[in-house]
Structure 1
Amino acid sequence: MELFEIVLVLLLMLAVSQVAQRSLPFIPLPIIQIGLGALVVYLPWHIHVSLEPELFFLLFIAPLLFNDGRRTPRDELWALRLPIVLLAVGLVLLTVVAGGYFIHALIPAIPLSAAFALAAILSPTDAVAVSAIASRVKLPANIHRVLEGESLMNDASGLVAFKFAIGAAVTGVFSIWQASWSFVVIAVGGLLVGAVLALVIIWGRMALRRFGIEDASVHVLIQIVTPFILYYAAEHVGVSGILAAVAGGILHAIEQDRSGFTTIEQKFVSEITWNIILFIMNGLVFVLLGLQIPAIATSIFSNRAYDNFKVVGYVLAIYLLLIALRFVWLTLSERLTKPGASRNYDWRGIGLTSLSGIRGAITLAGAFTIPFMVGSGEPFPQRDLMIFLAAGVILVSLLIASVMLPLLAESSPKNEASNAREKELRAQIAAIKAANQAVRLAIDDDNTHSAAIVIADNDQRLSDVKRTTYEMLSRKARSEELFLRQLGIAEERRCVHLLREKGEIEPEEAVVLQNIFRRIELVVSNRFHIFYLLLYALVNKVLTAVQPAKRRMYDSLKAADRKSFIRLRIATAAYALDKLQVNETCEDSTVNRVCGHYRQMINMLNNKLAAPEPAEIHEEQVQTLRMLSLQAEREALQEEYRQGNIGRQQLSKLQFQISMHEAEVLDTNWGNFLQA
């Protein structure tokens, strides 16, 4: 029961952090989650979670790095391989040596070997922390990719250096040749083990498909457990489990790109499942980090052997050293890799990359593996202080990066999103591109033609956005358009009622039309319309399942001449258009815009009357893919907002446009309506 309470509270903290971040968008989500984690300790339930490093790496770091390997562009990483290797290996070694001597000189109570160990565990940047902070800042693409590649690779070099430094501190024995050889074995071995096992798992999944096992749940489950298998197996044979997870993620991405056997259901179930897992994992990493802070701080601040101001000064001094080493290394690397460019340094880029060296949960988890005793049986020297210094550097690096990176990034004259107008257009373009990508992922042998129709429509919208500076609607104009849309639906309902009274339409036809109006009204009037549509569809399916007569009624309607329904919809739209044209309560421009929509809809429906009857399955495919495309646009806009590319007001404007477009889709596409 205690474990259940802990898990429940931690998950609630994730939800609270999302709400808090919406209210305080200037505070990075990781900072909020660390703060909430620290507050949890003081709740009446006295929740305490001990950080078990090995379990932490397996449960959290392995799947997160597997996903990073799966999603990070491989061609861009390969193009930046030299700066990534220089940071992931060269800078780590420089940090261990220079940092070790500096820490020992600063705090003589920490032996030199232990100082090397502390510097080693502080050397790797954290992939989760880097992604969390960098997502809020418009970093140049090459810097972002270098940071991603560095954080994926330097964990192995830092942890290997830490392992040998701790061994030297415990036993008093150290061999540079043994350490170098072990690093090569652990790093290369981790990549090989991860690659080989990933290939075996991929072949296993392909074998299941050949035997006809296409159940999406089975294949997604195999993909989810893959990083745990890779990490555990690699660590079991003594190589890097972290690099094994990264290698496995990269191979799975290659397999997904090249394989033509993955079904639509598998693709979408996989993406949705991974999004949920990543949301929980990313959040729990920082909440768990926050849970450790109070105990770590208390162990030092309540100990009279330490001067509180001095230990805080130690943290700041070590952090400044890490930034200085990073800055110097980047400057030297640029000079070595770009001969003749010594007078043209990209100082802003170097500064951004230096401040982006954020430490995170990997550093703290590694610090907790410092043994309590040395080989002689005596306590490990200054273990509590070393853990405190590691935690302090993590917090300072997060705070400084959160404050300074946005300032440096926004100060660039190259920042193309400085104008709010451009931000909206960029976000709109990104959302439409994301919609097309979602449709492409859904393509299979049966729906290629339907997908081409949806993609062509989106391409046309994309061209319109790029070709013209679309005038964003004011809040008043949006309110008036919503009012006129709802008024138009009300007039169409009145038309159906009049036709029913005259006996010109059957009751079943009136029900179908009212269902269409209900769906369109939900789209244009309620931001939570998707939930209501899903709930309505679920209730309707239950009713038709328990009422066979109702099912037969809709089946007969579905088999009937659809063109009769199109004629009815033309009649209701024309009736509404006549009423809207004489409206005098709204601006003429808004009235013209809504009336223009009705005219366009009538023209499209008239074209459908003249066209051959489409295959039912084709029409349903187009409708399904259009809905998928619109949902992908919404998710892309939410991501643009989360990354700080657009503000809340801009998000609202763009969401309004999508809702209006969705209403047009529902107006003119009849694929699934006759079932509801």
Structure 2
Amino acid sequence: MAVFELIMCIIAAVVVSSFASRFIPKVSTPLVQIALGVLVAYLPFFPNARLNPELFMVLFIAPLLYLEAHEIDKSALLKTLKLSLSLAIGLAIATMVAVGFILHAVWPAISLASALALGAALGPTDAVAVSSLGKEASLTQRQRGVLKGESLFNDASGIVGFQFALAAAFTGRFAVGEAAGEFVVSFIGGTAFGLVVAVLANWVFETVRSLGWETTTTRILMELFLPFLLYLGAEEFHVSGILAVVAAGLFIRFDRTGVGPNVARTNIVSTSVWGVLSFSLNGAVFILLGMQLPGAMMTSWSDPRISNLVLIGIILLVTAIVIVLRFAWVAGMLRIARDTYTGHRRRMTPERWRSAAVMTFGGPKGTITLSLMFTIPYSIAGGADFPMRDELMFIASGVIVLTLLLANFLLPLLAPNRGKDPATEMIPITVDVLRATVEELTGRITPENRRAILMVIDLYTKRISRLKQRIGTADPQGLEQLQIEALHWEKQFIHQQLDAIKAHPDPDPATQELNEEACERMLDQIMNTLRHTAVDSEADGHTVSQIRGRARMLQRRVNNVAKRTISKIRHTAPLVSEDQIFARTRALQIEVIHHVIDRLVDEMGRDTYNTEHCSALLLDYRRAEASLKARPTMSGSAAVIGQVEEVKRESYGIELRVIQDMLEAGDISRPQAKILRRNIYVMQVDADSGI
């Protein structure tokens, strides 16, 4: 039960990190999650439980590596395969050897096998950490391809090396020849096992779909089950489960080529589920890293046999070894690499040195390193505690944090993002499409669908407002000016009503007085609001009108008081009561609201005011109308909801047509149109299939 509570608390921390990262975009999400892990470690209600190392490997490593292999760009991987393999295998082995021997020489208390295990764990890089860094850094497509390919392959090489070094530390003996033979068997066997399972999985998925047996639920469950089956199956055959997962992830297709709403729904759900799972697993690992830091730190700091300065110095030394060795290796590979066009080796220019530095700091340690360190057993053969386990964990954690900090703050300096964010560039285009959609929906308003279309327009207005806030182009002053103009429309409407009442008096004196009194009170309210909302720049020009308005309002109030007083003196009841005036004023308010709504709908088809300002003000007036009217019946609400769904489907068609018109007019490019259409297709599948 404690483990379950631990997992639930970790997931809650991951959710909090997803919100916290939005407020500090220049700090990478892994750093935020590490900080949260440190924080929650001190919370009294947070359970203190240990995860089994083997369970940790299966639960975190297998699905993360599988997803990373499956989603990698295969064409980009082939273009940078040589450099990626050099970093993934050659640099990983060099890091393992350098860290192992230097650390053992500097701190003999750590055995050579344990130091080699630490060096092997520090070989893999974390591409997820790089992709989640702030948007200030801009890497080239080749740099990203090299880093992702390296992260994929060095996970396998680092894990295999770590397992052999850990076995030597566990048993106390290390036979190079035997280890090399086992490595070859494990490498070839794991790869072969993964390829065989990939072929079988492709056949199963294609057969199930062709026979019509596939459902979204069964398909997603089969995909989620596969990486765990791969890892556990390979381990049963005593071959590398990690290599099996990577090999299968590279070759499994999942047959996403079918046509139909069910296929589209399955593909969309699959992508969403894997995205959530990937973020959750990566976040959980970094939360666990933050939770582990205080315990490892307290153990090390409270041990009188270990100097705190030595411990900090070891962390800095190991970090320096990893970074310097990586920079030298990358620079050497760039120097000996031949140009794809001329076939000659190129000299190291300042730009190429900068590229080497970018790829050096662009490979921080993270998920895999920490996951491997968690698999260090708590005891060795004979039941004794694993020597220096807390210190090894602390050193690895310190190197992870330092490399993440260096990547977070140095990458933007080495590769500043001078261009615009593609997602941000799409926002103005998206706003134009949504605005055109709202304008066309406005032209389709009829008495029957008026309420439903206005509700859909409200949804589009909110979406436009959110998009404009993201790029800081919201115009509150423009909306304020339209609100003031709407008050003038209200005043004009009331004046027209009052003139009509006086021009054509009602035969009933009570009704005549009631109508005049309601109009006068409405005018008082509107004029009072206008006096308080007048802008400073127009304050001087409104001084005279304000004085006149206040005088007229005072005159009307004096007349009303006089009428009431005379009625009391004569002991006669007034023609109308306050309740009647209140009811008539309420009805007149609804008429005014309808008049303003009609004016706003007309203005949305013109260029006088911004469409989103008109629809935003529409939302305010509809809310005011709803508060004045009685609550609608359940059957009426259900009918409106169904009508709203139909209008939403129509709006998607309008959006697609607007995009096509903009593409044909040359206002947007084909890639931009593709992105816009993809978003609409997702909403259409949602509406039609109910995902």
- CA contact under 8 A between 1:83 and 1:146: conserved in structure 2? yes
| CA distances 1:293-341 after superposition (whole Å, capped 9, x unpaired) | 2211111011111111220111011101100000111122122223531
Q: 3-state DSSP class of the match of 1:133?
A: coil
Seq. identity, % = 33
Shift of 1:189: 2.3
Q: Distance in 2 between matches of 1:14 and 1:73?
A: 27
In the alignment, what sits opposite 2:493?
none
Q: Distance in 2 between matches of 1:588 and 1:518?
A: 23
* 2:405 maps to 1:399: yes
Q: Distance in 1 between matches of 2:412 and 2:70?
A: 27
In the alignment, what sits opposite 1:507?
none
- CA contact under 8 A between 2:358 and 2:411: conserved in structure 1? yes
- CA contact under 8 A between 1:198 and 1:226: conserved in structure 2? no
Within-5 A mapping of 1:286-305: 286-305=286-305
Q: 3-state DSSP class of the match of 2:269?
A: helix
| 658 and 407 in structure 1: CA distance in 2 versus 1, 3 angstrom threshold | same
Shift of 1:243: 2.5
Shift of 1:378: 5.9
- CA contact under 8 A between 1:234 and 1:241: conserved in structure 2? yes
Shift of 1:581: 8.9
* 2:346 maps to 1:347: no
Q: 3-state DSSP class of the match of 1:195?
A: helix
Query: Which TM-score applies when normalising by structure 1?
Result: 0.65
Within-5 A mapping of 1:368-517: 368-372=374-378, 379-410=385-416, 415-417=418-420, 424-425=424-425, 496=447, 510=448, 512-517=449-454
Shift of 1:373: 5.1
Q: Distance in 2 between matches of 1:582 and 1:269?
A: 38
| 231 and 47 in structure 1: CA distance in 2 versus 1, 3 angstrom threshold | same
Q: 3-state DSSP class of the match of 1:125?
A: coil
Q: Distance in 1 between matches of 2:7 and 2:46?
A: 14
In the alignment, what sits opposite 1:263?
263
Within-5 A mapping of 1:33-182: 33-133=33-133, 137-182=137-182
Q: Distance in 2 between matches of 1:277 and 1:423?
A: 23
AA aligned to 1:580 is E
CA RMSD of aligned residues (A): 4.3
Q: Distance in 2 between matches of 1:206 and 1:591?
A: 49
Shift of 1:588: 4.3
In the alignment, what sits opposite 1:580?
603
Shift of 1:170: 4.2
Instruction: Work out which of the two has the higher radius of gyration on C-alpha atoms and give 1 or 2.
Output: 2
- CA contact under 8 A between 1:156 and 1:243: conserved in structure 2? yes
AA aligned to 1:340 is R
Q: Distance in 2 between matches of 1:627 and 1:169?
A: 67
| 389 and 593 in structure 1: CA distance in 2 versus 1, 3 angstrom threshold | closer
Shift of 1:135: 7.1
In the alignment, what sits opposite 2:282?
282
AA aligned to 2:452 is N
Q: Distance in 1 between matches of 2:43 and 2:126?
A: 29
Q: Distance in 2 between matches of 1:136 and 1:288?
A: 27
Q: Distance in 2 between matches of 1:49 and 1:136?
A: 38
Within-5 A mapping of 1:283-362: 283-338=283-338, 339-344=344-349, 346-362=352-368
AA aligned to 1:294 is P
- CA contact under 8 A between 1:323 and 1:357: conserved in structure 2? no
Shift of 1:263: 1.5
| 132 and 240 in structure 1: CA distance in 2 versus 1, 3 angstrom threshold | farther
Shift of 1:593: 12
Shift of 1:283: 1.8
Shift of 1:279: 2.9
Q: Distance in 1 between matches of 2:328 and 2:363?
A: 13
* Residue-pair matches, total: 502
Shift of 1:21: 1.4
| 68 and 428 in structure 1: CA distance in 2 versus 1, 3 angstrom threshold | farther
* 2:386 maps to 1:363: no
Q: 3-state DSSP class of the match of 1:14?
A: helix
Query: Which TM-score applies when normalising by structure 2?
Result: 0.64
| 128 and 183 in structure 1: CA distance in 2 versus 1, 3 angstrom threshold | farther
| 135 and 148 in structure 1: CA distance in 2 versus 1, 3 angstrom threshold | farther
Q: Which moved more, 1:42-51 or 1:400-409?
A: 42-51
Shift of 1:110: 1.8
Q: Distance in 2 between matches of 1:592 and 1:10?
A: 41
Consecutive aligned runs of 4 or more in structure 1 exceeding 4 Å deviation: 1-4, 257-262, 371-380, 426-429, 526-530, 574-579, 587-595, 619-630
Q: 3-state DSSP class of the match of 1:263?
A: helix
In the alignment, what sits opposite 1:643?
none
Q: Which moved more, 1:216-225 or 1:264-273?
A: 264-273
AA aligned to 1:341 is R
Q: Distance in 2 between matches of 1:392 and 1:621?
A: 52
- CA contact under 8 A between 1:485 and 1:594: conserved in structure 2? no
In the alignment, what sits opposite 2:457?
520
Q: 3-state DSSP class of the match of 1:297?
A: helix
| 41 and 589 in structure 1: CA distance in 2 versus 1, 3 angstrom threshold | closer
Q: Distance in 1 between matches of 2:134 and 2:257?
A: 30
Q: Distance in 1 between matches of 2:386 and 2:138?
A: 44
In the alignment, what sits opposite 1:638?
none
Shift of 1:399: 1.5
Shift of 1:361: 3.0
AA aligned to 1:210 is S
In the alignment, what sits opposite 1:234?
234
- CA contact under 8 A between 1:232 and 1:241: conserved in structure 2? yes
Q: Distance in 2 between matches of 1:71 and 1:284?
A: 21
AA aligned to 2:355 is G
Give 5+ residue unaligned stretches, structure 2.
339-343, 468-594, 616-645, 660-671
In the alignment, what sits opposite 1:501?
none
Q: Distance in 2 between matches of 1:159 and 1:172?
A: 19
Q: Distance in 2 between matches of 1:232 and 1:580?
A: 66
Q: Distance in 2 between matches of 1:383 and 1:51?
A: 15
Q: Distance in 2 between matches of 1:357 and 1:276?
A: 23
- CA contact under 8 A between 1:103 and 1:115: conserved in structure 2? yes
| 108 and 622 in structure 1: CA distance in 2 versus 1, 3 angstrom threshold | same
Q: Distance in 1 between matches of 2:655 and 2:182?
A: 50
Within-5 A mapping of 1:480-629: 496=447, 510=448, 512-525=449-462, 579-580=602-603, 588=608, 590=610, 623=650, 626=653
Shift of 1:117: 2.2
In the alignment, what sits opposite 1:188?
188
Shift of 1:629: 7.6
Q: Which moved more, 1:173-182 or 1:310-319?
A: 173-182
Q: Which moved more, 1:28-37 or 1:58-67?
A: 58-67
- CA contact under 8 A between 1:522 and 1:529: conserved in structure 2? no
Shift of 1:49: 3.5
| CA distances 1:168-222 after superposition (whole Å, capped 9, x unpaired) | 3344533333333333332332222122112212222222233321322111211
Q: Distance in 1 between matches of 2:676 and 2:167?
A: 60
Shift of 1:351: 0.4
Q: 3-state DSSP class of the match of 1:346?
A: helix
AA aligned to 2:461 is V
| 235 and 516 in structure 1: CA distance in 2 versus 1, 3 angstrom threshold | same
Q: Distance in 1 between matches of 2:24 and 2:604?
A: 44
